[in-house]
Amino acid sequence: MRIAIIYMIAIVGAETVTVVGDPILGVSFHVAILVALLLHSALADRIPSSHRKLVLSLALVPLVRILSLTMPLVDIPEILWFPLIYTPLIAAAFMTMRTLGYGMGDICLSLRLRPVQLAVALTGFGFGVAEYLILRPEPAVYQLSLQEVWLPALMYFAFVGFGEELIFRGVLQRTAGDAFGVWGIVFTSFLFAILYMGYLSWIDVVLVFAIALFFGWVVKRTGSLAGVTLSHGISNIMLYLILPFLF
């Protein structure tokens, strides 16, 4: 589907401008792409249904960047940033799901913890270590204690892990899979990795792409977001809350 590739290239361009150029201009490009996607999905009656659904779900990608950069967070405690950014994103994902006529099972929204899901969750420890060795971020809390860590850890699970997996491995992977077949996982993983350009490390982008491919394969095989959501949350907890105090 050429139009989806064109939109993907446009998103890559907008993200590049945002990261290495002018963030305001980059966000403006993302807004333009978002409007184009919404209009295209509403007016494109001649394209196949699976392609129209993919176009609409793609609108979630620029929305991630728009909300992350335009929320007025300056005077708000960092712990509240995640619910403020991800609550509207999660709501948008559910609205998109409903508009597309999908049920919970269609986007693998099953949170039953079978043994295989717990095994997938454990991969988050390794992913967190690998990404920390690349990025070496500052800790997101003042000290490594239960009192400091428990609430940010909950935020990483409930908002970052669940929100991003719902959007990418849930809604977007379903529509991309219907349009591209097995290549839908690659398409979705690439878009997910591109949003990590802001860390200014191509090694990290490659690592995130590989992790996204693994997550996509797991969801395809198991039909559940549970394991990858937990793995995603654990990797962020390791990256920002634990490992900075151990190295």
pLDDT band at 111 (very low <50, low <70, confident <90, very high): low
Stretch 90-96: mean pLDDT = 97
pLDDT at 76: 80
Average pLDDT over the chain, rounded to whole? Answer: 93
Q: Find the range with the poorest average confidence among 9-23, 29-43, 47-61, 190-204.
A: 47-61
pLDDT at 232: 98
pLDDT at 45: 67
Q: How many domains does the chain have?
A: 1
- For residues 167 and 85, give the distance between their C-alpha atoms in angstroms, rounded to a whole number: 14
Which residue's entry shows tokens 């508009």? 99
Stretch 123-139: mean pLDDT = 97
Range of the domain at 118: 2-245
Amino acid at 150: W
CB 28 within 8 A of CB 53: no
Number of Cβ atoms within 10 Å of the Cβ of 222: 17
pLDDT at 211: 98
- For residues 9 and 3, give the distance between their C-alpha atoms in angstroms, rounded to a whole number: 10
Give the closest residue to 152 by CA, choosing from 238, 65, 211. 238
Sequence-distant (6+) residues with CB within 8 A of 220 are 173, 177, 185
pLDDT at 73: 74
For the chain, what percent of residues have pLDDT higher than 70?
98
Stretch 76-101: mean pLDDT = 92
